[in-house]
Structures are given as C-alpha cells and as structure tokens.
Amino acid sequence: MKATFAGCPAVKPRDGSWTAVLAQYRKPDTIRSTVEIAATAIPFVALWTLTAVAVANGYWLGLLLTVPAAGFLVRLFILQHDCGHGALFARRGINDWTGRVIGVFTLTPYDYWRRTHAVHHATAGNLDKRGIGDVSTLTVREYRALSRWGRIGYRLYRHPAVMFGIGPAWLFVCQYRLPLGLMRAGLQPWVSTIATNIGAAVPVVGLVWLLGIGPFLMVQVPITLIAATAGVWLFFIQHQFEQTHWSDNKDWKFQDAALYGSSHYDLPFPLRWITGNIGIHHVHHMAAKVPFYRLPEVLRDYPDLRHIGRITLFQSFSCVKLVLWDEQAKRLVSFREALQN
C-alpha cells in the first residue's frame, strides 16, 4: 500500500468516508453501559474496603490490593471520559450526571475536564494550537531558540520522574482543584471544580473519622498515585510516539490528525480491559461518540486499522525518549537526535 505520514500505510474505508462508516458504531447499549459501570465501581469499592480492613488489622500485605484497585480507578476514569463524549448513554443528561458522580472518585471535575478535553480533540496534531489538554511538545527549532534555563526547564518537564511521577500527582491532587486555564471562562468550570471538591471531601471526612487519618492515607494515597501515573502514561503514549502526525494549521486535517496522530496501543487483553480499550485511540479520535466497548468491533470489521500507529506494550517504553518534533523529518526525536542534526 502507499505509504504516508512517516511510513504509516494509507487506509481508506471500502464503503465511504470514515465519518459515515463509524457512525454505525455510535449507538450505545444502555444495559451494557450500566453493567460496565457496575463491573468497575463494585470491584473498586470492594478492593478499597478490603485494603482498609487489612491495614486496620495490621495485615500490611493487604496494601498489594492497592494495585488492582488503582486499575479499576483508571477504568472509572475511562467511563467518565466516555460520558464526556456523550458516548456511554443516548441521553446527554444521563452521561453528564454519571460523569459528575464518577468525577468525585477520580478527583476530576467533569464539566471543567470535558471542556479542556474537547479542545484537545479539536486541535490534536495541530502545531499552531498546542497547549490545552495535551502534553507540551516543542519543535526542534523552538527548543534550539530557548535560553539555557529554558532548555533546562523543558528537559525537567519531559524527564520521566516529572512526567510520570510528580506531574500526575500534581495534576489530579492539586491542579484539578481549580479550573486552571478556564479561570475566566464563566461560572461552569468553577461550579464543576468546587462541587467535585465538596463531593470528594464528604466521603473523605467520613472515612477518616471511621479509619483514622493514617490508615486512610495508607490506602488512598497509593491508589490515587498509581492510577494517576497510569492515566498520564496512557494519555502520553496515545500521541507521543515516533510516527505520530503533526502539521501546521494550514495543512491540518481532522481525519489525518485523528488517524495518524493517535496510536493503536495494542495491549494484552487484561490491560486492554482495565483501560477500557482506550488504546484503540486512533479510532476514538475519528469518532469520539463510539462507546469504548464497541471500539474492538471497528478493528474487527476494518482490520487494516489494526496496523495504523500500532505500538505494543514493550515498544511503548522506548517512546519516553521522544521529546521534540522534527519538522524536517516529520517525526518525534530525542534530545540526542536533535543535537546531532
């Protein structure tokens, strides 16, 4: 097949445009969506409770349960994410209120996050519209134009310890407590963040009263940090891979940016399930209203899509070093590669 966008095969649907083709997968199943919520929320609450009981009785090995609990918290975030796209239920109101309730558990103010995420979908892969809802990425030219301290700051920002350690903790624990970036965008972002803060504070106060501050923090902190790191990693790898696609605003096209600028993170089945198929991200960006549980149907019916932007779990680890967009080579490169050119 003809190659395009740094080696990605050109793929066109056999029976029309992708917008028309994927529209048939947009209809959610109310029963299936409800079951998916129950199958995620109930295990999360059960694992949290078991961990708390174990810690309260001195069984410290029970803290190992924080790992699967964090996995289910990530899945709750994916459900909230689908609500934000109006994909989980047919009625917008049900999507919104479901997302708001889940946001109390994920510490993510739903209406505020939905607005910033919509900007991400509308501008992903556009070099002239970076900055909202994405991982900050400089071009090689922009990096070279920085001062020494500017380069040090960018290197620190892109360091794995910051990107996947300090960054996720700051994002979910601190940054989402205020509508940063939308401070002057009206009342809704403020109501969203404040309501989420209050909604989260109520069970926290109750659990601290029941368990004590120490046991509560021993359970909640690792779950939150593990889930936050996993969530940021997923978001990172969905767009920060070597053969991703970026272009100037004049050349930017939504379908090209969605199909070639988003990865197919081909994870083993257990990880695919716990992450709600979010790795099928190129399809998601082409049709965000497709429910997460219907994304595999698209790959089944259009197998050529499996090879677009495909990254395995093992291959994904090497993407961490890709930090700058090379406008000449049309690909992401490492600091070392940028300095050699």
Query: 310 forms bridges with which residues in the sheet?
Result: 264
| Residue pLDDT, tens place only, 55-92 | 988 888 999 999 999 999 999 999 999 999 999 999 99
pLDDT value at 190 more than 60: yes
pLDDT score at 182: 82
pLDDT score at 19: 80
DSSP 98-112: HHHHHHHHHT--HHH
Residue entry with tokens 């290197």: 155
The dihedral formed by the CA atoms of 222, 224, 225 and 228, expressed in degrees to the nearest 10: 150
Is residue 180 very low, low, confident or very high in pLDDT (cuts 50, 70, 90)? confident
pLDDT score at 184: 80
Q: How far apart are CA 44 and CA 34, in angstroms?
A: 15
**Mean pLDDT score, 117-138:** 90
- What is the model's pTM? 0.92
Window from 5-9, 301-305, 326-330 with minimum mean pLDDT: 5-9
> Are 322 and 334 a contacting pair, CB within 8 Å?
yes
Higher pLDDT, 5 or 122: 122
The pairing of strands 264-266 and 310-312 is parallel
pLDDT value at 16 more than 90: no
DSSP 155-216: HHHHSHHIIIIIHHHIIIIIGGGTTTT-TTS-HHHHHHHHHHHHHHHHHHHHHHHHH-HHHH
3-state helix, strand, coil split of the chain in percent (to 5) is 65, 5, 30
> Are 99 and 110 a contacting pair, CB within 8 Å?
yes
| Residue pLDDT, tens place only, 273-311 | 999 999 999 999 999 999 999 999 999 999 999 999 999
**Mean pLDDT score, 240-266:** 93
> Are 32 and 294 a contacting pair, CB within 8 Å?
no
DSSP state of 7: T
